Amino acid sequence: MLLIACPYCGERPETEFRYAGEAHIARPHDPSALNDDEWVDFLYQRANPKGLHVERWRHIHGCARFFNAVRDTVSDRIFKTYEAGEPRPDVNAVAADVLAKESER
């Protein structure tokens, strides 16, 4: 079973969590000013990368808070979790940092 580090509660089993889609997608301030293509982009177009992905997760069966996570979609490894509202990190730097610290050990 995966352990996911909730920014509020610490490491918890994955069964307490729910996936909530790609992170850092801001709703347009004035939707009526958008044309149809731009609105479709906001509603439906997602990055879906093979590799590092920034995602929203919810600790639904714990503190019930949303937070963000940097996850590798190939290995399912979560490199970093942080509170919602914090700026999007440089995902490559985050992963490289974690791997470098591991190789030091």
Partner 1 sequence: MTEFLGTELSGTEFSGANLANARTGALDRFAGAASALVVTPGDPATRFIFRGGKAAQAAMGDAFGIALPVQSCRAATGQSRAALWLGPDEWLLTGEDGQAETLFAALESALAGVPHSLVDISHRNISILLSGPKAAAALNTACPLDLALESFPVGMCTRTVFGKAEVLIWRTGDTLFHLETWRSFGPYIWGLLSLAQREYGAL
In whole angstroms, the minimum distance from the beta carbon of 86 to partner 1 comes to 14
Q: How far apart are CA 57 and CA 65, in angstroms?
A: 8
Which stretches of the chain bind partner 1, using CB under 8 A? 1, 8-10, 12-13, 15-16, 61-65
Residues 6+ apart with CB under 8 A from 56: 19, 20, 21, 22, 23, 66, 67, 68, 69, 84
Nearer to partner 1, 10 or 28 (CB): 10
Nearer to partner 1, 46 or 61 (CB): 61
In whole angstroms, the minimum distance from the beta carbon of 17 to partner 1 comes to 10
3 with 11: CB under 8 angstroms? Answer: yes
Among candidates 74, 84, 75, which has minimal Cα distance to 21? 84
Nearer to partner 1, 13 or 51 (CB): 13
| Phi, psi (deg, nearest 5) at residue 85 | 105, -25
In whole angstroms, the minimum distance from the beta carbon of 40 to partner 1 comes to 35
Nearer to partner 1, 10 or 31 (CB): 10
In whole angstroms, the minimum distance from the beta carbon of 15 to partner 1 comes to 5
